[in-house]
Structure 1
């Protein structure tokens, strides 16, 4: 057959080269149809496939291809060059109890034609047999009931595809291996990949088996070894992709038989037993392992590696890792802890782990004043407080915080703060100062309004003799008076230049030197009047003469020395203690001559107030002269005639004239 292509337009006609071919060599056949797929007897891994060709091409000898795959396989497995006159083929290498998908296509056997389309798919499950191989097992043991029992959390991995030999129906956990004609005592029968049970503290091993419809696998012995072996020398991680991590470690000094890798997401998305993943590395010389199970980007994983020894389990070594990082989802919430005129203390809460999206490398604090000055400080990720120093008083600042990871940063909201003009201590000092000043002003105002009372409290008012009532009664220059005594005794005239009268309380006691046993007074008699202080003279003698045998007293006029005139005993002022002895009152030193011949000066005496009856307790004078001195009435004392004596109502022993 000669074939060419001709093209024609307004300008002319053009033809392609002529191709001479056999039509059967370039024909594309219709696809075949799978008729049946069967397993070969005697539980082999082979299957038999039968098919039919299309009716339009049944007279042509054909060459076919068969392809198949499981549901988990990403690609197809191809069986080429199938030429069978009876339209059947056998193929081996299939897994037991596995669901496969089959397709077929054909062309002319001379290989000159084109392949037909693939036939419709045919699904087929191979026959099963008992599981083979051993399970990978890991366990956790916790003592309970005061160490008498132990809670065991047993975990295992599913058998490999070439070992499962079908659909696993469940797992048995027993305290002893299965023996022929012996019923199995199971502590756990489950379809899951873990089991919790309780055993006595002395139990050190259990047996685990998987089973399907064709039988049960050989038991895997699980020995509960103590976790006291040597740990790894070091551990670190590196990301492989978003869903896997490389875990690298340094082998321990002791020879290990394998390694157990544990990892769990932080924070835990569910119960600890459910969220933990693990993996057994059987290669004793391995120093790294790739973990893929339950690894997600931007999530933190805590990874632990246990070395396995023949008689123990090594202590774990821990690390943390992200398969992929990005900027934090949010910045930390920070707040103003304290502020003064020169510094401000900030604090913040760390970003929640599920929002970090990576390892926080540092925090950066930015602050800017209204004057345009902008500063920043970088602190370690372990810090949660920072103090900004060098601030100006009475200034407003805007502050924000930035959290950073290796893949990016996130800024927080802006915080506005205003520094005070004064520190807290300075404000306290000012308040204290103004408080004291106010108190002082109040005290001064009270003192000004109550100056007399305050003055009397600190400086008691001492009476001024010049302003006393006696000063008003007696003239400043008292004229000399001539005192006439009784006619029987006529002494010379006495000139008195001055006299001082002191008041004494009515209830004051007499001096001790005056006290003697009291002389009882006769019933119904009046109290004896005090006698004159003038010594009596003999009757009929001149005023200046003395009786025979009587000693003439010394003159007190024109005497060279000071003569004691009187002694007054008084209490302290306003009830004060009298610590100083009573002063002696001295007669005037005036040299003015008396009107008559000099008379002897009287003896010292005390100016006493008498209260009540004689039984009040006044002792007699100690000498005859003192007795004679007090025999005359005190009323005859010069200058007392014209005086009004205060407290006269208390002078019960005086006779008024």
Structure 2
């Protein structure tokens, strides 16, 4: 009875305690692992939960927690089997207790046992006379995924071979550690112990002699003092060493040691450097035995300049059609040949006949220069820096009309995506010093993007790089000897990638009668997509009939003739070897044939003018005036009255007349000779109207048997004299010989003229309408030429024609 009461009291006490715990917010369970909180990866174990109250318990795992299938031993104890764990996991247990209790949880970590450290390496670092340490490094092996602790153990042996102290370094997770040692130590033994929650591992023991692993501290370099070929560098050491190594390199080059470095006290001289080059330097030291120190921090410095050592690579573009200027090109020198910063280029044109033609200074960022064209002149280019100029680069300018054999393309050409291989047949007769020059440039852009390469006589090909895709290139291969041009081979249509054009050209047109003149502009460079082969002009009439006209790619104009009077549509496309591009701009125009109205009007006007002229020709006065004008134009066909039929008959009827060109008196039927005065008039613009500019001889004797040796007056002079008739005689006082064309003498007035003579005078139209014949002059007394002087201005008065 007493025992039963005791058990009842115990249960009651337990219930009270559990109730109190629940009221305090305690956990409702206890959780643990059969393998502990840290397990090896891939292991198997169980997770157990013991509940503190009667409830329906459950187990969860993961993030977020998911229910797990567990095994129940009794209502207060459950467990979960975990197999092949590979990563850290979290487990929790919970139940529905009558009172609110917190669930319990457990974190399980997984990893590996540490591996024995390996590849142990120790260095005896001598920093100064008071600080000496042994620095050891090792390889800890694979990652354990756990927190590792490493202990470096060091056992020292002094000069008297007594055992030293075993030193324990700090635990560290690193792969290196250092331990101070005394300068009396000669030998050391080293091993490394690694451990984590799963266990520990120890390395093998390494034995060292300190003098074999002694390493001096890293040297410190001062700023170099450089000339063009060498630099002097100051070196600072913390301890005295026996060896020093200096290395240098230019930008983007590998390090090179200076075997001929000279150590002087605390400085070192580094020779054999390149002028005007940025050099980097570093140094390291070593005792007589032991290890080299670490490399010092890099320092840099420029060497000084020298005059350029090599001439420029020079070429030129052929002169323009006006031959007034040409463009000279050169390539930039690299740093090793420029030996300094180029500050200016100098270009000189020299004529072998007249000396220097021009000298031009060009800025350093320019690679070409326009100079006056001078056939067979020598162009020289220098590159100048602060220390001097380069050797002269010379090239002779040849006239484009020099006889060179032209080829359409080189003998062989191989094209790839980004490069072109150009081959040619060697010039067998070229001298030994002959060179080849290969030039290339985008089509139509020679002056802007000319590139070239010079090759030796034995070369027969070159690889042209930098070819842009969808770009058309052209160029030439030159053979030069002593700057004389021996041969030139041109090539065109070079491209790496090509497709049909993506645009058509813009069109302009001009209608001229039944034809149209079509002009167009080039397609933009980026839209050609290769080398153009031709243009196609499409002409479509209003009925829809379309006719193509194929034009070579080198033309920009075409005339289409013989078009009908209709409306037309016109457009142009461009083509490459890969196909035809899209249509360009369309234009519309009308062909309108000429009407026959204009020729009819012209014919009517011409007929009216002709009829008017015919009517004028029927007028006698118009005929006479026209004949006068005609005579003024025909100076050498003036009729000679002295040789007329009337003059001959008159001479035969009147008797003999004797005319002597001498100072003797005149023998005639009259007692005294007749004196004739001649007045000289100004010469007019029309020669037939000119008067005699000389006068007759005072005494003249005429004889029918005697002929003068020469004509007394020019043929273009016409003189007519009148003398009065004697009351007792009908014979004339003086007359001319029939061979004398300069004078016409008559004693007859107009009333004495027969009908034939009157017709002769009328035909000449010699006298104006108001001349002295119409005024009936009196004939009497001595007559001089002044009385019969003719003024030609009267011929044109009162003229209406």
TM-score, normalised to structure 2's length?
0.35
Structure scoring higher RCO (CA < 8 A, sep ≥ 6) equals 1
- Judging by fraction of residues, say which structure has more strand: 2
TM-score, normalising length from structure 1? 0.42
